[in-house]
Structure 1
């Protein structure tokens, strides 16, 4: 299953905490494009078929196609000089 780096977990928790609504985490869905195309959005909870990943207090909800494609991946995150969040994927070692 997808794992998160410490940076990614911290950023996911921060994003959820900064929302004014009942956001609890991020939802990752596989895009309509070729493999490795994903959409990331804030979410108030999982959809019925989602896999739920909780790591270090960060919640990630994955639709089935995304869960399959990201099964052996590590999600990292950082903030660029303009303050934008950037996500990156690596392969679990």
Structure 2
């Protein structure tokens, strides 16, 4: 399973609580195909889980993991850092 740092949990909670999103909103990690053919993981806000997603909820913050992403992030820690301009960068650490 994935471990979520306090900073990442805080960011996910802020996204989850956004008033313009649905009541099941959260952050989803899923693969996307890159131009080089590699399948990289992407993190984005969603209104709810996708089909087959694992749902992790803690203190009202919801993280959805696609089946492929769940396998790839097992044993990792999800962290977040805020960059200039309030841009958030999620980081996976083994």
**TM-score of the two chains, using structure 1 as the length reference:** 0.84
**Number of positions where the alignment pairs a residue of Structure 1 with one of Structure 2:** 90
- Tell me whether 64-73 or 39-48 shows the greater mean CA deviation: 39-48
Q: What root-mean-square deviation, in Å, do the aligned CA atoms of Structure 1 and Structure 2 show?
A: 1.6
Question: 2:14: which partner in 1?
Answer: 14
Structure-2 separation of matches of 1:6 and 1:56: 11
Structure-2 separation of matches of 1:16 and 1:58: 6
**TM-score of the two chains, using structure 2 as the length reference:** 0.83
Gap regions ≥5 residues in structure 1: none
User: Is 1:81 the counterpart of 2:84 in the alignment?
Assistant: yes
Question: Shift in Å at residue 6 of structure 1?
Answer: 0.3
Structure-2 separation of matches of 1:69 and 1:86: 18
